[in-house]
Amino acid sequence: MKLIEITVKVFNKSFRYKMICLFGLTIFFLGCKVKMKSAINHVNDKNSPWQIMQQIVDDVNEPNIQDKSFSVIDYGAISDGVFNNSDAFKKAIQNCYENGGGKVIVPSGKFYTGPIHLKSNINLHLEEGAEILFSTNPSDYYPLVHTSYEGLELMNYSPLIYAYKANNISVTGKGVLNGQANSHNWWPWSMGVDHGWKEGMPSQRDSLNLPKLMSFADKGIPVNERIFGDNHYLRPTFLEPFNCTNVLIKDVKIINAPFWVIHPIKSKNVIVDGVTIDSHGPNNDGCNPEYSKNVIIRNCTFNTGDDCIAIKAGRDNEGRRIAIKSKNIVVQNCKMIDGHGGVVIGSEMSAGVSNVFVENCIMDSPNLDRAIRIKTNSRRGGTVDGVYVRNIEVGQVKEAVLKINMFYGIYSNQTGAFIPQVRNILLENVNVKNGGEFGVLAKGYVGSPIQNITLKNVVIEKVKKEFSLENVTNIKLINTKINGLPVEETNTNKQLNNN
């Protein structure tokens, strides 16, 4: 009996020891798990803008188009630069579409044509040495289509390459898309004296043209009743996917555009990759995502007569009516040469813009006005929230490295009751040789100040004036050096705003 009692006591002690050890080990591993989870969360912080950017990039894939080829030559195309190949392109695209999609091949040679309309599951592929020469005769761009002009929807001339409500579309290859616009056609309509316009010539600014469209939009006139086209002098965009999903524009060179060059509007999952744009006409913005989501612009070269990249979201009441934000826009590994701005938001941005990411770009030209620019006013309204820039090399710009203007306006009557908001702007690891007039030029409203500008690891070797700030709150300067001198974090917002 005594032996049994001793055995039970030993077992109880052993059991208690095992339970204590097991409990201790459980606490230890739980602690490790919590620490590991905390470390993972720190690395993959959902609030980190660069983690958000990477997730956007990972989620956007190229269109999946079947490997079938349809050469335009087989449909009657002639590559002499004179014969009108509009029917040949139309037939090749239609036959490709009816057979489930594939590549419409444009071989080496010069192919003159009117507008090209793409359909779902089609890749317009230009082989090396191919050049498509687009007509400059406005009548060739009939019938009118549902499109947009400076953030206002209308029925107007067809874009040179157009897709409407299509899925899985591509324009690829090493060829050239030549709009043939110059100071004798399309460009004088801008009323630009540097682009062929002379006193007495018609232009987009005449009362029955752009002002009439603006009036229609303000009154909410249905788009199908906004009939423009001939005698209204509103130029067509070059390449416009309208309300499309899964779009790829890759490797082509685009020159001599009538108006905006690449204009994804109301589109999702768009990749612009390896494209070269060389077009110095009026309003020749390189790429203008508008009301669009998940847009990747990478490995491109922009040499333009207006903004290299300008993110849009509708104009005035039109933008507020449509109310589709442009968001999740990623710009990577691009080169910006001439232009009004490297990466720009606005001025047509009334529906709002958020989550813009710019990294690993080179911006350098005596004819590049600004590196990063946001432009809006109280007629536009809208909110810009989240512009994140890192690893940028700027050779020289004319006016400013960063410019934020909430009082922007080219045309008259650019004031209203819709005060815009701008917040959360980050410049990180930015090196500038010559910043022009200003390092940061930012002007907000007393009642709507620009909020949260951070400069981290920014070096501006030369600039005339470090800051010109009005109504800016919470500007952070971390390891930033301008004109050879460190800009201390101890500089208060009040001190900066008085500069």
Half-sphere exposure of 222 (CA within 13 A, CB side): 2
Side by side, which strands form the sheet with 239-242?
Answer: 116-118, 161-164, 239-242
CA distances from residue 276 to 175, 336, 479 in whole angstroms, order as listed: 11, 10, 35
Ramachandran region of residue 223, left (φ > 0), alpha (ψ -120 to 50) or beta? alpha
Asked if the bond preceding 347 is cis, omega within 30° of 0, the reply is yes
The residues annotated as belonging to the active site are 306, 340
Contact 410, 437 (CB under 8 A): no
Half-sphere exposure of 190 (CA within 13 A, CB side): 25
Contact 210, 204 (CB under 8 A): yes
Both tokens of 116, joined, read 């090209």
Name the DSSP class of 235: P
The DSSP-derived string for 165-209 is: S-EEEEEEES-EEE---BTTBBGGGGT-GGGT--TT---TTSTTS
Nearest CA to 375 out of 343, 410, 405, 342 is that of 405
In whole angstroms, give the CA distance from residue 451 to residue 449.
6
> Which helix H or strand E contains 143, and what residues bound it?
none
Name the DSSP class of 315: -
Both tokens of 396, joined, read 């020289």
How far does CA 382 lie from the centroid of its chain? 17
Nearest CA to 395 out of 434, 453, 447 is that of 434
The residues near 7 (Cβ < 8 Å, ≥ 6 apart) are none
Ramachandran region of residue 255, left (φ > 0), alpha (ψ -120 to 50) or beta? beta
CA distances from residue 129 to 107, 132, 254, 389, 426 in whole angstroms, order as listed: 7, 10, 14, 36, 42
